[in-house]
A and B are shown apart, each in its own frame.
Chain A
């Protein structure tokens, strides 16, 4: 059992989920901007902000646990010219700060400043990009692959949509709001499509990734062997869970088109929560495997 990198598994998953949830929360805000009252909209969007804040705080704490000597951390921006880790800390810090400003300003005015939220989202996406670049700039063939970008952005979009859909659903029920049918239907359908496409992309890239590892240098081959020998059960489980989540949401959309069933966030909540849990577990397993299969280029 590989136990070394739990703090980084948590950190990367939580920050990516935070960025994704913030972005999709903003998208909902933009979609509904002129269709429902400002106050109502703010109340629906706020619980997601709390979730984002919670992920940022817990994720950052987890990342500090990874460090041997966090007290020297004042110097972490010294090498921004060449170090992706320096840059990542800058952008994650920037995203966190911008989130806080958006959140506090929102509380003051009871409305989210969309310009600021867009800037925050862009900084968040750059932060995820920097995270992926950290790993592609190592000498670990399993990480120096396009697949790293696919899985990191994959987490951002998957956990982001599912977290924000869950928290928005919670907000709607809590405020006893009703959202007009077609409004929430569009949201559920678009988000379901995003999840399905993201799962599909990851599923398509995975065999290409493992094949290219098997045909690479010694360290790459060792990584591939770890995945399909020692970790084959977890690998299979991860993809099974992701596919199940994707199929669940496909079924949800099918129900809407063919069974002519009205799709609101609240009526689909069972599927949304189930897909969330299933995909979350799949993502945790996937990230664990990412770190566990990282064999460095070595002598011999």
Chain B
């Protein structure tokens, strides 16, 4: 199985949120629901302020807690590429998965009483296109490919930076090129 993951180049992200908007548009999301979100981090103090952006959707983790905890098996991980999906025919809307995701990737939809999230734009991928967020990015900082390919292409990457949960909790398939202002995650 060739696991797929997201690559995000923090050094070039300008925080324009085109990815966030493209995703919201493509998935026709309601107010308050975002599958991909852009966070601004501000650290330090004048004369040494630090700031950087993180754009993150579902990380299609290697050890997804949401899949382990789902009582109906509606949340599952595909064998062939590790994409984590929700089978809406089985979801009972108990929201336990929203308590299990460290990245806030899952959202409860009041209208249909089920949980939804980023599905890596599988429908677009099937047509040979890229996920909406990747095509929308004007700085070309996002990529979605097999993790092997990404690791070959990009060196000096990390999974853990200040502001993100410990990657050992769910082993997210995310590869970050860290911004110089984004220190390694502090371990308490």
Contact check, A68 vs B108: say whether CB atoms are below 8 A apart: yes
The chain A residue sitting closest to B75, CB to CB, is A79
Assess whether B100 is in contact with A138, with CB atoms less than 8 Å apart.
yes
Q: Is the CB of B72 within 8 A of A76?
A: yes
CA A227 to CA B110, docked complex, whole Å: 28
In the assembled complex, the Cα of A300 lies from the Cα of B41 at a distance in Å of 7
In whole Å, how far is A67's beta carbon from the nearest beta carbon of chain B? 5
Given A66, A83, A299, A300, which contacts B71 in the complex, CB threshold below 8 Å?
A: A83
CA distance A77 to B104 in the complex (A): 25
Q: Which residues of B contact A134 (CB under 8 A)?
A: 69, 96
Within residues 60 to 84 of chain B, which ones have a CB less than 8 A from any CB in chain A? 65, 67-74
Given contacts A85-B69, A139-B169, contact A296 B104 (CB under 8 A): yes
Q: Is the CB of B90 within 8 A of A72?
A: yes
Residues of chain A contacted by B188 (CB below 8 angstroms): 215-217
Q: Which residues of chain A are within 8 angstroms of B89 by Cβ–Cβ distance?
A: 72
CB-CB nearest in chain B for A296: B99
Interface residues as binary, B33-48 with A (CB distance below 8 Å gives 1, 0 otherwise): 0000101010000000
Q: Which B90-130 residues sit within 8 Å CB-CB of chain A?
A: 90-96, 98-104, 108-110, 112-115
Q: How far is the CB of A6 from chain B (nearest CB, A)?
A: 14
- Closest CB-CB distance, B171 to chain A, in whole Å? 14
Q: What per-residue 1/0 map shows which CB atoms of A270-298 lie under 8 Å from chain B? A: 00000000000000000000000010111
- Do A69 and B112 touch (CB < 8 A)? yes
Q: Are B104 and A75 in contact (CB under 8 A)?
A: no
Partner of B104 from A66, A216, A299 at Cβ < 8 Å: A299
What is the CA–CA distance of A139 and B90 in the complex, to the nearest angstrom? 23
User: Which of B65, B92, B163, B169 sits near A70, CB closer than 8 Å?
Assistant: B92
Cβ–Cβ < 8 Å partners of A294 in chain B: 99
Q: How far is the CB of B88 from chain A (nearest CB, A)?
A: 9
Taking CB atoms, residues of chain A closer than 8 Å to B93 are 67-69
Question: Chain A contacts of B19 at CB under 8 A?
Answer: none
Is B29 an interface residue, CB under 8 A from the partner?
no
Total contacting residues, chain B, CB less than 8 A: 41
A69 touches B91 (CB 8 A): yes
Query: B56 at the A/B interface (Cβ < 8 Å)?
Result: yes
Considering the complex, give the chain B residue whose CB is closest to the CB of A88: B71
In the complex, A260 has a CB within 8 A of chain B: no
Pairwise interchain contact B100-A137, C-beta atoms closer than 8 A: yes
Which residue of B has the minimal Cβ distance to A140?
B99
**Complex formed: what's the CA distance from A215 to B188 in Å?**
9
Residues on the A chain within 8 Å of B169, using CB? 139, 297
> Known pairs A76-B71, A79-B69, A139-B169. 15 more at Cβ < 8 A?
A66-B95, A69-B91, A69-B114, A72-B90, A75-B74, A82-B68, A138-B69, A138-B99, A139-B65, A139-B100, A215-B188, A296-B101, A297-B102, A299-B54, A299-B103
Return 15 A-B CB contacts under 8 Å, by A number.
Answer: A68-B94, A70-B92, A72-B91, A75-B72, A75-B74, A79-B70, A82-B67, A82-B68, A85-B94, A134-B69, A138-B65, A138-B96, A139-B65, A296-B102, A298-B102
Query: Which 6 A-B residue pairs are closest in the complex by CB-CB distance?
Result: A68-B93, A68-B113, A75-B72, A78-B73, A138-B99, A85-B71
